[in-house]
Structure 1
Amino acid sequence: MRAFFEGIEDLFVNGLFFPYDFFRFMENWWTSNIINWTFIVIGAIAMVYWLGQLKKYDASGEEDKSITAHSYL
Structure 2
Amino acid sequence: MKAFFEGIEDLFVNVLFAPYDMFRFMESWWAANTINWILAIIGSVAFVYWMLELKKYDDKGEEDKSVTSHSYL
TM-score, structure 1 length as denominator?
0.71
Residues 21-64 of structure 1 show CA distances to partners (whole Å, capped at 9, x for unaligned) of 22212232231241x33332222111111111111112112123
Report what 2:23 is aligned to: 23
Aligned length, in residue pairs? 71
Between the aligned partners of 1:41 and 1:25, the Cα distance in structure 2 is 23
Between the aligned partners of 1:17 and 1:64, the Cα distance in structure 2 is 43
Q: Percent identity?
A: 69
User: Which runs of 5 or more residues in structure 1 are unaligned?
Assistant: none
Q: Tell me: CA distance 1:68–1:18, structure 2 relative to 1, closer, same or farther (3 Å).
A: closer
Runs of 4+ in 1 over 6 A off after TM superposition: none
RMSD, aligned CA: 2.2
Counting only pairs closer than 5 Å after superposition, residues 1-73 of structure 1 correspond to structure 2 as 1-33=1-33, 34=35, 36-66=36-66, 69=69, 72=73
Q: Tell me: CA distance 1:3–1:70, structure 2 relative to 1, closer, same or farther (3 Å).
A: closer
User: Which runs of 5 or more residues in structure 2 are unaligned?
Assistant: none
Residue type of the partner of 1:5?
F
